[in-house]
Structure 1
Amino acid sequence: MAWNEAENARQRARREERIRKEEEERRRQKLEAEESKARLMEAFLKEKEKEVLQLQEEAKNFITPENLDARIEECLDNPRNYNFAIDKEGRIVKRTVLS
């Protein structure tokens, strides 16, 4: 009977050690997952911040009601003709058959 109790105690100690190691491994994996998620979120936020800054930079060229008259005057002062062709050598041909 003493041998059986000693064997049970030994098995209990092994089981407790295994459970403790498994719990420790679970905590370590959870911590690594949280760190990985935090790094991904930080990278995502940096990317979005970069996009916002780029949009703010592009917004400086938007036509708004405040600068509409100035932009219209600018377009009237500097007309552009997009009616042209490019030949096989890459030269721009401004005169077409109709003009």
Structure 2
Amino acid sequence: RGSLRSFRTDVILYSVFALIFLFSSPCWGTAQALFPRAATWRLCIPGIAVSPQQECEHRQNLVLFSFPCDREERIAKEAEEEQRQKLKAVENKAKIMEAFLKEKEKEVLQLQEEAKTFITLENLDARIEQCLDNPRNYNFAIDKDGRIVKRTVLT
């Protein structure tokens, strides 16, 4: 009776470990060391012939039933990935801020150039004299081709 119970326990454990570690080859070595006969159960499961890429993908997605060493490794990788993403976000933010500052510098330079032509109290008399010395006549008509058709005489 004891050997039957032991066999049933082995069958349950082997089937559970075969399902858990079906696609995780690095963990399979640990399971095989704990349960030497588990390798035969892995061969008995139909549909086990998968590509190494699929095994790798399933191993990466297998998070629920993993050994503590794999869990620590996964946590370390997640922390490293999180750190990398934070660093990337900081770099992106710095690039955006740099582009923003360059744009604002261009605007400031453009405003400084335009400010040279502004009429202020200091240059008001000079600008009035300039306008009186160089009169402009804006009273004219243009045809569809852009030629001046009619112009009034400035008095």
Aligned partners of 1:88 and 1:43: how far apart in 2?
44
Does the alignment pair 1:86 with 2:86? Answer: no
**1:44 alignment partner in structure 2:** 100
- Once the two structures are superposed, residues 56-92 of structure 1 have per-residue CA deviations (whole angstroms, 9 ceiling, x without a partner) of 0111000000000010111111111111110133211
Aligned partners of 1:14 and 1:48: how far apart in 2?
50
Q: What is the aligned length?
A: 88
- Report the TM-score when normalising by structure 1: 0.81
Does the alignment pair 1:63 with 2:119? Answer: yes
- Structure 1 unaligned segments of length 5 or more: list them: 1-5
Higher relative contact order (CA 8 A, sep 6+): 2
- Report the TM-score when normalising by structure 2: 0.53
**2:80 alignment partner in structure 1:** 24
Q: Hey, which bits of structure 1, 4+ residues long, moved more than 6 A?
A: none
Aligned partners of 2:82 and 2:127: how far apart in 1?
63
**1:95 alignment partner in structure 2:** 151
Aligned partners of 1:92 and 1:16: how far apart in 2?
83
